Amino acid sequence: MRSHWTRARHLAWFNTETGGWIGEWMGHLPAPVVPSTVTEEGRLQMLNAWLQDAQRLITPAGSPYAVTAQLWDLDAWDDCPDGAAVCLDTTRYGWPVGDFQWAVFDGWDRLLDFREMRAYLELTPATAMLDASVHGPRPVRSTPEKIVADVTGTPLEPWVDQLHGRLIRRDGRIVFEPFWPGVPEAVVLSITDRTLDLALLGGLEHAAIPLAERN
Amino acid sequence: MKSFFDALAVWTQIPVANRTVEVNTKTGFSLTAGSYSVRASSTQYGNMTLASNTDVTKTATISSVTATRASLFNGGFDTDEATDQNDAVFTRITLTNATTVTATRATSTSSNVIQAFNVAEFF
């Protein structure tokens, strides 16, 4: 069933009892050999058997294969009883390792379900502007040009699409001036006072924030 | 005495099944693509503001998509205080790369413009 060729694969494990994510692994596995005469259901059965065999040597502690990326919830791994996990080959989606961490696997329907839309607020450090917001079921990662904060579940989430504005320095403090009206003062102040878990402000160079114009 | 690389060369010749590694006893079964379904995984919604008198381009960072199978849709735009046609400059949006959507307008105006977009990926 194995050949000497290897293929880059992206695997994800879920607990079939809770549906929760356990971990992801990306690396090179020995490629399966499936006779061309085997088609449809038989082919899938052979590939599933190959995957079950190949993943047997992959754990958070290591594997004999060449690894390119991996991410594990070690508590979820430890809490999962023997035989209760499912390993999914998620290569076809082409997403980075970690993108399945909020998905839930329904073993009854064999359905990988992204049930939650998460909310992200984005800051452009070069201009000190909160200027974009995105909702999606997968992680949005910071780049050198954008600092991204996951505000899901925080008091900012309901307002995330209106929380676009400038950060300016006034009297030694960072003040948030929203572009759009209607944002409650308490929400504006929560950014100004940096009292909420808005990690993106922590990544901003103080000097990059422009001084307020004097009236 | 064997060098590390000699030892590694010997080790890599050992069949994988015979190497001393921790065996995964957690996994009860495995499924390749085609043996399970994925739902509601592909759509992202976003907004970006082009600031008045400043911005002619703006970017938003999204979850990674494969450009050849992703579609970007214009979700419309709004302005905060446009009083005439000169303040309502239409924006163009493009999927710049796997994680970036860019909005561009011909000129900056005295209005803030919020541009909405959706990105859907098809499998």
Helix H or strand E encompassing B10 = helix B4-13
Kindly indicate the confidence band of residue A102, based on its pLDDT and cuts at 50, 70 and 90: very high
**The tokens of A47 are what?**
């590939």
B19 CB contacts (<8 Å, ≥6 apart)?
A57, A64, B11
CA distance A134 to A160: 8
Domain boundary among A113, A128, A158: A113
**The tokens of A2 are what?**
């194995």
Instruction: Answer yes or no: is pLDDT of A196 > 70.
Output: no
CA distance A126 to chain B (A): 12
Which among A140, A147, A157, A200 is the top mutation candidate for probing chain B, defined by the most B β-carbons within 10 Å of its own β-carbon?
A: A140
Instruction: Answer yes or no: is pLDDT of B123 > 50.
Output: yes
Kindly indicate the confidence band of residue A210, based on its pLDDT and cuts at 50, 70 and 90: low
Which among A100, A123, A134 is the top mutation candidate for probing chain B, defined by the most B β-carbons within 10 Å of its own β-carbon?
A: A134
Q: A86 and B27 in contact by Cβ < 8 A?
A: yes
Residue A215 lies in a domain: no
Kindly indicate the confidence band of residue A215, based on its pLDDT and cuts at 50, 70 and 90: very low
Q: A55 and B23 in contact by Cβ < 8 A?
A: no
Residue listed under structure tokens 């069949």:
B15
What value does the mean pLDDT take over residues B83-101? Answer: 84
- Indicate if A84 and A36 belong to the same structural domain: yes
> Which residues in chain B are closer than 8 Å to A161, comparing Cβ atoms?
47, 114
Q: A136 and B45 in contact by Cβ < 8 A?
A: yes
Range of the domain at A95: 2-113
Kindly indicate the confidence band of residue A70, based on its pLDDT and cuts at 50, 70 and 90: very high
CA distance B1 to chain A (A): 24
- Indicate if A37 and A53 belong to the same structural domain: yes
- Indicate if A103 and A31 belong to the same structural domain: yes
Write down the mean pLDDT value for chain B.
Answer: 83
CA distance A122 to B67: 22
CA A73 vs CA A55, A69, A90: distances in Å: 17, 14, 18
Q: What is the DSSP string of A75-116?
A: HHHHHSPTT-EEEEE-GGG-PPTTTTTT-EEETTTTEEE---
Tens of pLDDT, residues B53-88: 888 899 999 999 998 899 999 999 888 776 666 667
CA A29 vs CA A26, A89, B19: distances in Å: 9, 11, 15
- Indicate if A14 and A48 belong to the same structural domain: yes
Instruction: Answer yes or no: is pLDDT of A149 > 80.
Output: yes
Tens of pLDDT, residues A4-43: 678 899 999 999 999 999 999 999 998 888 888 888 888 9
Q: A139 and B63 in contact by Cβ < 8 A?
A: yes
Helices (H), A21-96: 40-54, 74-79
Domain boundary among A113, A138, A167: A113
Instruction: Answer yes or no: is pLDDT of B7 > 70.
Output: no
For residue A53, give the chain B residue with the closest CA: B30
**The tokens of A197 are what?**
């878990």
Task: Answer for the pair A57, A65: CB distance below 8 angstroms, yes or no.
Answer: yes
- Indicate if A126 and A98 belong to the same structural domain: no
Complex confidence, ipTM: 0.84
What value does the mean pLDDT take over residues A124-148? Answer: 93
Kindly indicate the confidence band of residue A195, based on its pLDDT and cuts at 50, 70 and 90: very low
Domain boundary among A113, A132, A158: A113
Which among A11, A106, A179 is the top mutation candidate for probing chain B, defined by the most B β-carbons within 10 Å of its own β-carbon?
A: A179
Classify A21 in phi/psi space as left (phi over 0), alpha (psi -120 to 50) or beta: beta
- Indicate if A7 and A99 belong to the same structural domain: yes
Task: Specify the range with the lowest mean pLDDT, choosing from A87-96, A105-114, A172-181.
Answer: A172-181
Tally of domains within chain A? 2
